[in-house]
Structure 1
Amino acid sequence: MMAFQRLNFTVEDVAAACADRGSARVVGAGFDGTVYRAEMPNGEVIAVKELRLPHNKGKRGKENSNDSSKREAITVAAAAAEVEVLGSVRHRNIVRLLGWCRNNETVLLLYEYMPNGSLEKLLHGGGIIDDDKESDKRAGKRGGGVMAVDWETRYKIAVGVAQGMSYLHHDCTPLVVHRDLKPSNILLDAEMEARVADFGLAKFMDGAVALSVSGISGSYSYIAPEYACTLKVDERSDIYSYGVVLMEIVSGRRSVEPEYGEGNSIVEWIRQKLVSGTDDRASNLGRARRDDCELQGSEEGDDAGAPSGHALHL
Protein backbone atom coordinates (compact mmCIF):
# COMPACT_ATOMS: atom_id res chain seq x y z
CA MET A 1 0.00 0.00 0.00
CA MET A 2 1.28 3.46 -0.92
CA ALA A 3 0.13 6.21 1.47
CA PHE A 4 0.18 9.96 0.80
CA GLN A 5 -0.09 10.84 4.47
CA ARG A 6 0.26 9.06 7.79
CA LEU A 7 -2.46 6.42 8.11
CA ASN A 8 -3.76 4.75 11.26
CA PHE A 9 -4.64 1.51 9.50
CA THR A 10 -2.93 -1.15 7.40
CA VAL A 11 -3.54 -2.76 4.05
CA GLU A 12 -4.82 -5.81 5.94
CA ASP A 13 -7.41 -3.59 7.64
CA VAL A 14 -8.55 -2.30 4.25
CA ALA A 15 -8.78 -5.81 2.82
CA ALA A 16 -10.82 -7.01 5.80
CA ALA A 17 -13.19 -4.03 5.60
CA CYS A 18 -13.71 -4.58 1.87
CA ALA A 19 -14.23 -8.34 2.16
CA ASP A 20 -17.99 -7.77 2.44
CA ARG A 21 -18.94 -5.80 -0.67
CA GLY A 22 -22.66 -5.88 -0.03
CA SER A 23 -25.01 -3.30 -1.54
CA ALA A 24 -25.43 -1.64 1.87
CA ARG A 25 -21.80 -0.56 1.71
CA VAL A 26 -22.00 0.93 -1.79
CA VAL A 27 -21.98 4.74 -1.78
CA GLY A 28 -21.35 5.29 -5.47
CA ALA A 29 -20.76 3.53 -8.77
CA GLY A 30 -19.59 4.53 -12.23
CA PHE A 31 -18.30 2.98 -15.42
CA ASP A 32 -14.75 2.90 -14.06
CA GLY A 33 -15.43 1.45 -10.62
CA THR A 34 -17.50 1.15 -7.45
CA VAL A 35 -17.06 3.12 -4.21
CA TYR A 36 -17.61 1.45 -0.83
CA ARG A 37 -17.91 2.77 2.70
CA ALA A 38 -15.30 1.02 4.85
CA GLU A 39 -14.82 1.30 8.61
CA MET A 40 -11.35 0.66 9.97
CA PRO A 41 -10.66 -1.10 13.32
CA ASN A 42 -9.93 2.28 14.96
CA GLY A 43 -13.40 3.56 13.99
CA GLU A 44 -12.19 5.74 11.13
CA VAL A 45 -14.43 5.63 8.06
CA ILE A 46 -12.94 5.92 4.59
CA ALA A 47 -14.22 5.56 1.03
CA VAL A 48 -12.63 2.79 -1.03
CA LYS A 49 -12.92 2.89 -4.81
CA GLU A 50 -12.36 -0.39 -6.60
CA LEU A 51 -11.21 0.35 -10.15
CA ARG A 52 -12.35 -1.74 -13.07
CA LEU A 53 -9.36 -2.73 -15.18
CA PRO A 54 -9.93 -3.38 -18.90
CA HIS A 55 -9.01 -6.77 -20.33
CA ASN A 56 -7.90 -7.54 -23.84
CA LYS A 57 -9.56 -10.35 -25.77
CA GLY A 58 -8.12 -12.60 -28.47
CA LYS A 59 -9.45 -12.63 -32.02
CA ARG A 60 -11.87 -15.46 -31.29
CA GLY A 61 -13.26 -13.86 -28.14
CA LYS A 62 -10.97 -15.81 -25.85
CA GLU A 63 -8.66 -13.84 -23.65
CA ASN A 64 -5.05 -13.91 -24.81
CA SER A 65 -3.08 -14.32 -21.59
CA ASN A 66 0.05 -12.59 -22.91
CA ASP A 67 -1.88 -9.63 -24.31
CA SER A 68 -4.01 -9.47 -21.17
CA SER A 69 -1.03 -9.39 -18.83
CA LYS A 70 0.67 -6.72 -20.93
CA ARG A 71 -2.52 -4.67 -21.01
CA GLU A 72 -2.97 -4.98 -17.27
CA ALA A 73 0.66 -4.02 -16.65
CA ILE A 74 0.27 -0.93 -18.83
CA THR A 75 -3.01 -0.02 -17.14
CA VAL A 76 -1.60 -0.40 -13.63
CA ALA A 77 1.51 1.57 -14.61
CA ALA A 78 -0.65 4.37 -16.02
CA ALA A 79 -2.84 4.31 -12.91
CA ALA A 80 0.25 4.49 -10.70
CA ALA A 81 1.57 7.53 -12.57
CA GLU A 82 -1.76 9.34 -12.35
CA VAL A 83 -2.32 8.39 -8.71
CA GLU A 84 1.10 9.84 -7.86
CA VAL A 85 -0.06 13.21 -9.19
CA LEU A 86 -3.45 13.04 -7.48
CA GLY A 87 -1.79 12.08 -4.20
CA SER A 88 -0.04 15.45 -4.16
CA VAL A 89 -3.28 17.42 -4.62
CA ARG A 90 -4.15 19.37 -1.47
CA HIS A 91 -7.14 21.70 -1.53
CA ARG A 92 -10.15 22.15 0.72
CA ASN A 93 -12.52 21.62 -2.22
CA ILE A 94 -10.89 18.45 -3.56
CA VAL A 95 -11.56 15.04 -2.01
CA ARG A 96 -8.24 13.93 -0.55
CA LEU A 97 -6.64 10.74 -1.82
CA LEU A 98 -5.22 8.99 1.25
CA GLY A 99 -3.41 6.21 -0.57
CA TRP A 100 -3.82 3.23 -2.85
CA CYS A 101 -3.09 -0.47 -2.98
CA ARG A 102 -3.34 -3.27 -5.52
CA ASN A 103 -2.91 -6.97 -6.11
CA ASN A 104 -3.16 -9.17 -9.19
CA GLU A 105 -6.91 -8.72 -9.36
CA THR A 106 -7.80 -5.17 -8.42
CA VAL A 107 -6.69 -1.61 -7.69
CA LEU A 108 -8.13 0.17 -4.64
CA LEU A 109 -8.06 3.94 -4.17
CA LEU A 110 -8.51 5.15 -0.59
CA TYR A 111 -10.28 8.48 -0.07
CA GLU A 112 -11.50 10.49 2.88
CA TYR A 113 -15.19 9.77 3.47
CA MET A 114 -17.80 12.45 2.79
CA PRO A 115 -20.78 11.93 5.19
CA ASN A 116 -23.31 14.09 3.32
CA GLY A 117 -23.16 12.21 0.05
CA SER A 118 -23.18 13.85 -3.36
CA LEU A 119 -24.60 17.06 -4.79
CA GLU A 120 -26.70 14.85 -7.08
CA LYS A 121 -28.49 13.36 -4.10
CA LEU A 122 -28.87 16.73 -2.39
CA LEU A 123 -30.44 18.32 -5.47
CA HIS A 124 -32.58 15.46 -6.67
CA GLY A 125 -33.21 13.24 -3.65
CA GLY A 126 -32.95 9.56 -2.85
CA GLY A 127 -29.44 9.78 -1.49
CA ILE A 128 -27.46 7.65 0.94
CA ILE A 129 -26.75 9.62 4.09
CA ASP A 130 -25.41 8.87 7.54
CA ASP A 131 -27.80 8.41 10.47
CA ASP A 132 -26.35 11.52 12.13
CA LYS A 133 -29.43 13.66 12.80
CA GLU A 134 -27.47 16.92 12.87
CA SER A 135 -25.98 15.99 9.51
CA ASP A 136 -29.48 15.44 8.17
CA LYS A 137 -30.52 18.87 9.39
CA ARG A 138 -27.57 20.58 7.74
CA ALA A 139 -28.13 18.73 4.47
CA GLY A 140 -31.87 19.34 4.49
CA LYS A 141 -34.53 16.67 4.10
CA ARG A 142 -34.79 15.79 0.47
CA GLY A 143 -36.74 13.41 -1.68
CA GLY A 144 -39.09 13.17 -4.60
CA GLY A 145 -36.90 15.43 -6.71
CA VAL A 146 -37.45 18.47 -4.48
CA MET A 147 -34.37 20.47 -3.53
CA ALA A 148 -34.78 21.58 0.11
CA VAL A 149 -31.67 23.72 0.53
CA ASP A 150 -31.33 27.45 1.09
CA TRP A 151 -29.68 29.92 -1.27
CA GLU A 152 -26.72 30.48 1.02
CA THR A 153 -25.84 26.77 0.93
CA ARG A 154 -26.33 26.62 -2.83
CA TYR A 155 -24.02 29.60 -3.28
CA LYS A 156 -21.43 28.07 -0.94
CA ILE A 157 -21.45 24.83 -2.94
CA ALA A 158 -21.19 26.62 -6.29
CA VAL A 159 -18.23 28.70 -5.13
CA GLY A 160 -16.53 25.67 -3.57
CA VAL A 161 -16.69 23.70 -6.82
CA ALA A 162 -15.34 26.69 -8.76
CA GLN A 163 -12.44 27.06 -6.34
CA GLY A 164 -11.59 23.37 -6.57
CA MET A 165 -11.63 23.37 -10.36
CA SER A 166 -9.58 26.58 -10.48
CA TYR A 167 -6.95 24.86 -8.34
CA LEU A 168 -6.79 21.88 -10.71
CA HIS A 169 -6.52 24.12 -13.77
CA HIS A 170 -4.14 26.81 -12.53
CA ASP A 171 -2.20 25.55 -9.51
CA CYS A 172 -1.40 21.93 -10.41
CA THR A 173 1.62 20.85 -12.44
CA PRO A 174 0.82 19.29 -14.79
CA LEU A 175 -2.59 20.85 -15.33
CA VAL A 176 -5.41 18.48 -14.32
CA VAL A 177 -8.52 18.20 -16.51
CA HIS A 178 -11.34 16.35 -14.78
CA ARG A 179 -13.44 15.52 -17.89
CA ASP A 180 -16.48 14.27 -15.95
CA LEU A 181 -17.59 17.09 -13.67
CA LYS A 182 -21.23 16.54 -12.68
CA PRO A 183 -23.31 16.60 -9.44
CA SER A 184 -22.67 12.92 -8.66
CA ASN A 185 -18.91 13.65 -8.69
CA ILE A 186 -19.25 16.55 -6.26
CA LEU A 187 -19.34 15.37 -2.65
CA LEU A 188 -20.34 17.21 0.52
CA ASP A 189 -18.47 17.02 3.81
CA ALA A 190 -19.92 17.33 7.32
CA GLU A 191 -20.07 21.14 6.96
CA MET A 192 -21.70 21.02 3.51
CA GLU A 193 -18.43 22.11 1.90
CA ALA A 194 -18.21 20.97 -1.73
CA ARG A 195 -15.43 18.54 -2.66
CA VAL A 196 -14.70 17.63 -6.27
CA ALA A 197 -14.19 13.87 -6.59
CA ASP A 198 -13.83 10.91 -8.95
CA PHE A 199 -10.84 11.52 -11.15
CA GLY A 200 -11.26 8.23 -13.00
CA LEU A 201 -11.41 10.21 -16.25
CA ALA A 202 -8.88 12.86 -15.26
CA LYS A 203 -6.09 13.65 -17.68
CA PHE A 204 -2.90 15.56 -17.04
CA MET A 205 -1.76 18.11 -19.58
CA ASP A 206 1.52 19.84 -20.27
CA GLY A 207 0.77 23.54 -20.59
CA ALA A 208 -2.20 24.51 -22.74
CA VAL A 209 -1.82 21.75 -25.33
CA ALA A 210 -5.17 20.08 -25.94
CA LEU A 211 -5.26 16.34 -25.35
CA SER A 212 -6.58 14.07 -28.08
CA VAL A 213 -8.65 11.19 -26.77
CA SER A 214 -9.75 8.00 -28.48
CA GLY A 215 -13.42 8.38 -27.53
CA ILE A 216 -15.90 10.63 -25.82
CA SER A 217 -15.73 10.36 -22.05
CA GLY A 218 -18.12 11.72 -19.48
CA SER A 219 -21.88 12.17 -19.28
CA TYR A 220 -23.25 13.56 -22.54
CA SER A 221 -25.37 16.35 -21.09
CA TYR A 222 -22.25 17.80 -19.43
CA ILE A 223 -19.99 17.48 -22.49
CA ALA A 224 -18.96 20.64 -24.33
CA PRO A 225 -20.17 20.53 -27.97
CA GLU A 226 -16.68 21.14 -29.36
CA TYR A 227 -15.34 18.20 -27.32
CA ALA A 228 -17.86 15.84 -28.88
CA CYS A 229 -16.92 17.08 -32.36
CA THR A 230 -13.11 17.28 -32.13
CA LEU A 231 -12.28 14.72 -29.39
CA LYS A 232 -9.77 17.25 -28.08
CA VAL A 233 -10.10 18.25 -24.46
CA ASP A 234 -8.65 21.03 -22.36
CA GLU A 235 -9.72 22.90 -19.24
CA ARG A 236 -12.48 24.69 -21.15
CA SER A 237 -14.35 21.39 -21.31
CA ASP A 238 -14.51 21.41 -17.51
CA ILE A 239 -15.73 25.01 -17.55
CA TYR A 240 -18.67 24.05 -19.76
CA SER A 241 -19.49 21.15 -17.43
CA TYR A 242 -19.36 23.52 -14.46
CA GLY A 243 -21.84 25.80 -16.20
CA VAL A 244 -24.29 22.91 -16.53
CA VAL A 245 -23.81 22.03 -12.85
CA LEU A 246 -24.45 25.66 -11.94
CA MET A 247 -27.72 25.61 -13.86
CA GLU A 248 -28.80 22.57 -11.85
CA ILE A 249 -27.87 24.26 -8.57
CA VAL A 250 -29.84 27.39 -9.41
CA SER A 251 -32.91 25.75 -10.97
CA GLY A 252 -33.11 22.50 -8.98
CA ARG A 253 -33.70 20.64 -12.23
CA ARG A 254 -31.78 17.69 -13.67
CA SER A 255 -29.49 18.18 -16.64
CA VAL A 256 -31.87 16.04 -18.72
CA GLU A 257 -35.66 15.98 -18.30
CA PRO A 258 -38.47 14.98 -20.71
CA GLU A 259 -39.78 18.54 -20.65
CA TYR A 260 -36.68 19.79 -22.48
CA GLY A 261 -37.52 17.84 -25.61
CA GLU A 262 -35.71 15.02 -27.38
CA GLY A 263 -31.96 15.56 -27.61
CA ASN A 264 -32.04 18.70 -25.46
CA SER A 265 -30.45 19.36 -22.09
CA ILE A 266 -30.91 22.01 -19.42
CA VAL A 267 -28.66 24.30 -21.51
CA GLU A 268 -31.16 24.48 -24.38
CA TRP A 269 -34.09 24.69 -21.94
CA ILE A 270 -32.63 27.68 -20.08
CA ARG A 271 -31.64 29.34 -23.36
CA GLN A 272 -35.25 29.06 -24.54
CA LYS A 273 -36.58 30.41 -21.25
CA LEU A 274 -34.21 33.37 -21.35
CA VAL A 275 -35.47 34.21 -24.82
CA SER A 276 -39.17 33.70 -24.08
CA GLY A 277 -39.15 34.97 -20.49
CA THR A 278 -41.93 32.55 -19.54
CA ASP A 279 -40.31 30.36 -16.87
CA ASP A 280 -42.77 30.39 -13.99
CA ARG A 281 -40.40 28.51 -11.70
CA ALA A 282 -37.58 31.00 -12.25
CA SER A 283 -40.01 33.87 -11.72
CA ASN A 284 -41.22 32.36 -8.46
CA LEU A 285 -37.67 31.79 -7.24
CA GLY A 286 -36.69 35.33 -8.12
CA ARG A 287 -39.79 36.74 -6.43
CA ALA A 288 -39.12 34.72 -3.27
CA ARG A 289 -35.51 35.91 -3.23
CA ARG A 290 -36.58 39.55 -3.57
CA ASP A 291 -39.14 39.13 -0.78
CA ASP A 292 -36.43 37.69 1.49
CA CYS A 293 -34.13 40.60 0.73
CA GLU A 294 -36.87 43.18 1.32
CA LEU A 295 -37.77 41.54 4.63
CA GLN A 296 -34.12 41.52 5.68
CA GLY A 297 -33.76 45.16 4.71
CA SER A 298 -36.84 46.21 6.69
CA GLU A 299 -35.59 44.37 9.77
CA GLU A 300 -32.17 46.01 9.60
CA GLY A 301 -33.65 49.49 9.28
CA ASP A 302 -33.44 52.28 6.76
CA ASP A 303 -29.74 52.85 7.38
CA ALA A 304 -28.93 49.37 6.12
CA GLY A 305 -29.45 50.43 2.53
CA ALA A 306 -29.91 47.94 -0.24
CA PRO A 307 -29.49 44.36 0.92
CA SER A 308 -26.16 42.85 -0.01
CA GLY A 309 -25.90 39.51 -1.72
CA HIS A 310 -24.19 37.48 -4.36
CA ALA A 311 -25.48 36.81 -7.85
CA LEU A 312 -24.97 33.59 -9.77
CA HIS A 313 -24.68 34.59 -13.44
CA LEU A 314 -25.61 32.07 -16.12
Structure 2
Amino acid sequence: MNQQLSSYKVFYTVANTGNISHAAKQLYISQPAISRTIQRLEQSLGVILFSRNSRGVQLTSEGLLLYNHVKSAFDTLELGEKQLQRVSDLGIGQIHIGVSTTLCKYVLLPYLKKFIEKFPHVNITIECQSTNQTLELIEQQKIDVALIGKPSSLKGLDFIPIGEIEDIFVATKNYLHFLNERETINQSTKKQKNFFETATLMLLDKNNMTRQYIDDYFIKNQIKTNNILEVTSMDLLIEFANIGLGIACVIKEFVKKDLQSGHLIEIPLNIPIHKREIGFAYLNQNKLTHSLEQFISSLTKI
Protein backbone atom coordinates (compact mmCIF):
# COMPACT_ATOMS: atom_id res chain seq x y z
CA MET A 1 0.00 0.00 0.00
CA ASN A 2 1.71 3.16 -1.25
CA GLN A 3 -0.69 5.68 0.30
CA GLN A 4 -0.79 6.73 3.91
CA LEU A 5 -3.87 5.78 5.90
CA SER A 6 -4.72 9.49 6.32
CA SER A 7 -5.13 9.85 2.53
CA TYR A 8 -7.65 7.03 2.45
CA LYS A 9 -9.43 8.57 5.43
CA VAL A 10 -9.88 11.77 3.41
CA PHE A 11 -11.04 9.81 0.37
CA TYR A 12 -13.48 7.79 2.51
CA THR A 13 -14.97 10.89 4.14
CA VAL A 14 -15.39 12.76 0.84
CA ALA A 15 -17.09 9.71 -0.68
CA ASN A 16 -19.48 9.42 2.28
CA THR A 17 -20.43 13.09 2.35
CA GLY A 18 -20.34 13.67 -1.42
CA ASN A 19 -19.08 17.16 -0.70
CA ILE A 20 -15.57 18.50 -0.10
CA SER A 21 -16.69 21.31 2.21
CA HIS A 22 -18.68 18.89 4.39
CA ALA A 23 -15.72 16.54 4.53
CA ALA A 24 -13.46 19.43 5.54
CA LYS A 25 -15.73 20.22 8.51
CA GLN A 26 -15.76 16.59 9.66
CA LEU A 27 -11.99 16.22 9.38
CA TYR A 28 -11.16 19.71 10.70
CA ILE A 29 -8.90 20.50 7.75
CA SER A 30 -9.23 23.06 4.95
CA GLN A 31 -11.00 22.42 1.63
CA PRO A 32 -7.80 23.11 -0.39
CA ALA A 33 -5.94 20.51 1.73
CA ILE A 34 -8.62 17.93 0.96
CA SER A 35 -8.54 18.74 -2.74
CA ARG A 36 -4.76 18.36 -2.82
CA THR A 37 -4.95 15.02 -0.99
CA ILE A 38 -7.51 13.65 -3.46
CA GLN A 39 -5.43 14.92 -6.39
CA ARG A 40 -2.25 13.23 -5.10
CA LEU A 41 -4.16 9.99 -4.50
CA GLU A 42 -5.55 10.05 -8.05
CA GLN A 43 -2.11 10.77 -9.51
CA SER A 44 -0.57 7.94 -7.50
CA LEU A 45 -3.23 5.42 -8.54
CA GLY A 46 -3.47 6.70 -12.13
CA VAL A 47 -7.26 6.97 -12.10
CA ILE A 48 -9.95 9.60 -11.55
CA LEU A 49 -11.78 8.88 -8.30
CA PHE A 50 -14.43 11.63 -8.30
CA SER A 51 -16.45 13.52 -10.88
CA ARG A 52 -17.75 16.99 -9.97
CA ASN A 53 -21.36 18.10 -10.28
CA SER A 54 -23.50 21.00 -9.06
CA ARG A 55 -24.14 19.31 -5.72
CA GLY A 56 -20.54 18.32 -5.00
CA VAL A 57 -18.63 15.21 -6.03
CA GLN A 58 -19.58 11.70 -7.07
CA LEU A 59 -17.53 8.51 -7.21
CA THR A 60 -16.44 7.29 -10.61
CA SER A 61 -16.57 3.57 -11.36
CA GLU A 62 -12.88 3.33 -10.40
CA GLY A 63 -13.58 5.37 -7.28
CA LEU A 64 -16.46 3.08 -6.30
CA LEU A 65 -14.22 0.03 -6.67
CA LEU A 66 -11.65 1.58 -4.33
CA TYR A 67 -14.35 2.81 -1.95
CA ASN A 68 -15.73 -0.71 -1.37
CA HIS A 69 -12.31 -1.90 -0.24
CA VAL A 70 -11.59 1.19 1.87
CA LYS A 71 -15.00 0.92 3.53
CA SER A 72 -14.32 -2.71 4.43
CA ALA A 73 -10.99 -1.71 5.98
CA PHE A 74 -12.46 1.12 8.05
CA ASP A 75 -15.40 -1.06 9.12
CA THR A 76 -12.89 -3.62 10.38
CA LEU A 77 -10.98 -0.95 12.28
CA GLU A 78 -14.20 0.33 13.85
CA LEU A 79 -15.16 -3.21 14.88
CA GLY A 80 -11.74 -3.63 16.47
CA GLU A 81 -12.17 -0.41 18.46
CA LYS A 82 -15.59 -1.52 19.69
CA GLN A 83 -14.24 -4.88 20.77
CA LEU A 84 -11.37 -3.22 22.61
CA GLN A 85 -13.83 -0.97 24.38
CA ARG A 86 -15.90 -4.01 25.36
CA VAL A 87 -12.78 -5.68 26.70
CA SER A 88 -12.08 -2.60 28.79
CA ASP A 89 -15.66 -2.24 30.01
CA LEU A 90 -16.08 -5.90 31.01
CA GLY A 91 -12.53 -6.49 32.19
CA ILE A 92 -11.98 -9.13 29.53
CA GLY A 93 -8.37 -10.20 29.21
CA GLN A 94 -6.00 -13.16 29.13
CA ILE A 95 -3.43 -14.51 31.56
CA HIS A 96 -1.07 -17.36 30.66
CA ILE A 97 0.19 -19.04 33.83
CA GLY A 98 3.04 -21.53 34.09
CA VAL A 99 3.15 -23.94 37.04
CA SER A 100 4.20 -27.44 37.99
CA THR A 101 1.43 -30.02 38.25
CA THR A 102 1.99 -30.32 42.00
CA LEU A 103 1.79 -26.61 42.76
CA CYS A 104 -1.17 -26.26 40.38
CA LYS A 105 -3.28 -28.73 42.34
CA TYR A 106 -2.30 -27.83 45.88
CA VAL A 107 -1.46 -24.11 45.69
CA LEU A 108 -2.67 -22.39 42.51
CA LEU A 109 -6.32 -23.51 42.50
CA PRO A 110 -7.38 -21.53 45.61
CA TYR A 111 -5.85 -18.36 44.11
CA LEU A 112 -7.59 -18.94 40.78
CA LYS A 113 -10.94 -19.60 42.46
CA LYS A 114 -10.89 -16.23 44.24
CA PHE A 115 -9.62 -14.37 41.18
CA ILE A 116 -12.18 -15.84 38.78
CA GLU A 117 -15.01 -15.03 41.18
CA LYS A 118 -13.98 -11.37 41.01
CA PHE A 119 -12.90 -11.23 37.34
CA PRO A 120 -15.02 -13.82 35.48
CA HIS A 121 -14.28 -12.39 32.02
CA VAL A 122 -10.51 -12.97 32.20
CA ASN A 123 -9.45 -16.04 30.21
CA ILE A 124 -6.94 -18.21 32.07
CA THR A 125 -4.51 -20.52 30.26
CA ILE A 126 -2.37 -22.87 32.34
CA GLU A 127 0.87 -24.49 31.18
CA CYS A 128 1.85 -27.39 33.46
CA GLN A 129 5.58 -28.07 33.30
CA SER A 130 8.42 -28.62 35.74
CA THR A 131 9.76 -25.53 37.49
CA ASN A 132 12.89 -25.55 35.32
CA GLN A 133 10.79 -25.69 32.15
CA THR A 134 8.45 -23.01 33.51
CA LEU A 135 11.39 -20.68 34.07
CA GLU A 136 12.45 -21.20 30.45
CA LEU A 137 8.94 -20.39 29.24
CA ILE A 138 8.78 -17.14 31.17
CA GLU A 139 12.23 -16.09 29.94
CA GLN A 140 11.04 -16.79 26.38
CA GLN A 141 7.91 -14.70 27.14
CA LYS A 142 5.63 -17.62 26.31
CA ILE A 143 3.82 -17.24 29.64
CA ASP A 144 2.89 -14.14 31.66
CA VAL A 145 3.45 -15.33 35.20
CA ALA A 146 4.77 -18.45 36.91
CA LEU A 147 4.10 -20.14 40.23
CA ILE A 148 7.44 -21.63 41.25
CA GLY A 149 9.76 -22.48 44.07
CA LYS A 150 12.09 -19.51 44.45
CA PRO A 151 15.22 -20.21 42.37
CA SER A 152 18.73 -19.31 43.52
CA SER A 153 18.86 -16.55 40.89
CA LEU A 154 15.79 -14.60 39.77
CA LYS A 155 17.46 -13.42 36.51
CA GLY A 156 15.38 -10.32 35.83
CA LEU A 157 12.23 -11.62 37.51
CA ASP A 158 10.04 -9.98 40.09
CA PHE A 159 9.04 -12.51 42.76
CA ILE A 160 6.00 -12.32 45.03
CA PRO A 161 6.34 -14.85 47.89
CA ILE A 162 3.13 -16.53 49.05
CA GLY A 163 4.42 -19.13 51.50
CA GLU A 164 6.87 -21.92 52.27
CA ILE A 165 6.94 -25.64 51.61
CA GLU A 166 8.82 -28.32 53.53
CA ASP A 167 10.28 -31.49 52.02
CA ILE A 168 10.00 -34.58 54.24
CA PHE A 169 10.36 -38.35 53.95
CA VAL A 170 7.32 -40.51 54.70
CA ALA A 171 6.35 -44.17 54.73
CA THR A 172 3.64 -46.45 56.14
CA LYS A 173 3.97 -48.20 59.50
CA ASN A 174 4.06 -51.53 57.73
CA TYR A 175 6.95 -50.52 55.50
CA LEU A 176 8.94 -49.20 58.48
CA HIS A 177 8.23 -52.46 60.32
CA PHE A 178 9.59 -54.34 57.31
CA LEU A 179 12.81 -52.30 57.45
CA ASN A 180 13.07 -52.87 61.20
CA GLU A 181 13.06 -56.58 60.58
CA ARG A 182 16.17 -56.18 58.41
CA GLU A 183 18.14 -53.89 60.68
CA THR A 184 17.82 -51.92 63.87
CA ILE A 185 17.12 -48.27 63.27
CA ASN A 186 18.16 -45.64 65.82
CA GLN A 187 18.71 -41.90 65.72
CA SER A 188 22.48 -41.94 65.17
CA THR A 189 23.75 -40.33 61.98
CA LYS A 190 25.44 -43.52 60.91
CA LYS A 191 22.34 -45.65 61.30
CA GLN A 192 20.18 -43.10 59.53
CA LYS A 193 22.48 -43.17 56.53
CA ASN A 194 22.22 -46.96 56.49
CA PHE A 195 18.44 -46.60 56.70
CA PHE A 196 18.34 -44.61 53.44
CA GLU A 197 20.70 -47.08 51.82
CA THR A 198 18.44 -49.99 52.75
CA ALA A 199 15.05 -48.54 51.84
CA THR A 200 13.43 -48.17 48.45
CA LEU A 201 13.63 -44.41 48.14
CA MET A 202 11.02 -42.78 45.89
CA LEU A 203 11.96 -39.42 44.40
CA LEU A 204 10.88 -37.15 41.57
CA ASP A 205 12.85 -37.42 38.32
CA LYS A 206 16.17 -35.60 37.97
CA ASN A 207 14.77 -32.82 35.76
CA ASN A 208 12.63 -31.64 38.65
CA MET A 209 13.88 -28.78 40.81
CA THR A 210 12.66 -30.54 43.97
CA ARG A 211 14.75 -33.60 43.09
CA GLN A 212 17.79 -31.42 42.52
CA TYR A 213 17.22 -29.80 45.91
CA ILE A 214 17.05 -33.21 47.62
CA ASP A 215 20.11 -34.50 45.76
CA ASP A 216 22.05 -31.49 47.05
CA TYR A 217 20.86 -32.34 50.57
CA PHE A 218 22.14 -35.92 50.22
CA ILE A 219 25.52 -34.74 48.91
CA LYS A 220 26.02 -32.09 51.62
CA ASN A 221 25.16 -34.56 54.36
CA GLN A 222 27.03 -37.50 52.82
CA ILE A 223 23.91 -39.66 52.68
CA LYS A 224 24.16 -42.63 50.33
CA THR A 225 21.22 -44.20 48.52
CA ASN A 226 21.17 -47.51 46.70
CA ASN A 227 17.64 -48.22 45.54
CA ILE A 228 15.91 -45.18 44.01
CA LEU A 229 12.55 -45.31 42.28
CA GLU A 230 11.99 -42.22 40.11
CA VAL A 231 8.43 -40.93 39.75
CA THR A 232 7.13 -38.18 37.48
CA SER A 233 4.66 -36.50 39.84
CA MET A 234 4.16 -35.68 43.52
CA ASP A 235 0.71 -37.28 43.48
CA LEU A 236 2.23 -40.60 42.41
CA LEU A 237 4.86 -40.36 45.14
CA ILE A 238 2.12 -39.90 47.73
CA GLU A 239 0.08 -42.79 46.31
CA PHE A 240 3.10 -45.12 46.19
CA ALA A 241 3.97 -44.22 49.79
CA ASN A 242 0.38 -44.92 50.86
CA ILE A 243 0.46 -48.47 49.46
CA GLY A 244 3.74 -49.20 51.25
CA LEU A 245 6.02 -49.30 48.23
CA GLY A 246 8.86 -47.46 49.95
CA ILE A 247 9.93 -44.18 51.50
CA ALA A 248 8.82 -41.12 49.52
CA CYS A 249 10.16 -37.60 49.57
CA VAL A 250 7.05 -35.42 49.55
CA ILE A 251 5.98 -31.92 50.49
CA LYS A 252 4.67 -31.95 54.04
CA GLU A 253 1.84 -29.52 53.37
CA PHE A 254 0.38 -31.92 50.81
CA VAL A 255 0.18 -34.99 53.10
CA LYS A 256 -1.22 -33.37 56.25
CA LYS A 257 -4.30 -35.61 56.35
CA ASP A 258 -2.23 -38.77 55.94
CA LEU A 259 0.12 -37.67 58.72
CA GLN A 260 -2.73 -36.69 61.04
CA SER A 261 -4.50 -40.01 60.50
CA GLY A 262 -1.27 -41.87 61.17
CA HIS A 263 -1.40 -43.71 57.85
CA LEU A 264 1.92 -42.13 56.85
CA ILE A 265 4.78 -41.60 59.27
CA GLU A 266 7.32 -38.81 58.88
CA ILE A 267 10.89 -40.12 58.99
CA PRO A 268 12.90 -38.10 61.56
CA LEU A 269 16.05 -36.47 60.17
CA ASN A 270 19.12 -35.62 62.18
CA ILE A 271 19.71 -32.67 59.86
CA PRO A 272 16.41 -31.13 58.70
CA ILE A 273 15.83 -30.06 55.13
CA HIS A 274 15.48 -26.31 54.90
CA LYS A 275 12.07 -25.03 53.90
CA ARG A 276 11.66 -23.52 50.44
CA GLU A 277 9.89 -20.32 49.48
CA ILE A 278 7.25 -20.42 46.75
CA GLY A 279 5.63 -17.54 44.91
CA PHE A 280 4.61 -15.94 41.63
CA ALA A 281 7.30 -14.63 39.27
CA TYR A 282 7.11 -12.45 36.17
CA LEU A 283 9.55 -10.55 33.96
CA ASN A 284 10.27 -7.16 35.50
CA GLN A 285 11.23 -5.43 32.24
CA ASN A 286 7.83 -5.99 30.61
CA LYS A 287 4.89 -3.64 30.89
CA LEU A 288 2.14 -5.57 32.63
CA THR A 289 -1.21 -6.06 30.96
CA HIS A 290 -4.26 -4.83 32.84
CA SER A 291 -5.37 -8.41 33.54
CA LEU A 292 -1.96 -9.39 34.92
CA GLU A 293 -1.91 -6.27 37.12
CA GLN A 294 -5.29 -7.31 38.51
CA PHE A 295 -4.04 -10.85 39.15
CA ILE A 296 -0.86 -9.71 40.90
CA SER A 297 -2.82 -7.21 42.97
CA SER A 298 -5.20 -9.97 44.05
CA LEU A 299 -2.35 -12.11 45.42
CA THR A 300 -1.92 -9.91 48.47
CA LYS A 301 -5.64 -10.06 49.26
CA ILE A 302 -6.04 -13.83 49.45
TM-score scaled by length of structure 1: 0.20
Greater length-normalized contact order (CA 8 Å, ≥ 6 residues apart): 2
Based on CA coordinates, which of the two structures has the bigger radius of gyration? 2
Structure with higher strand content: 2
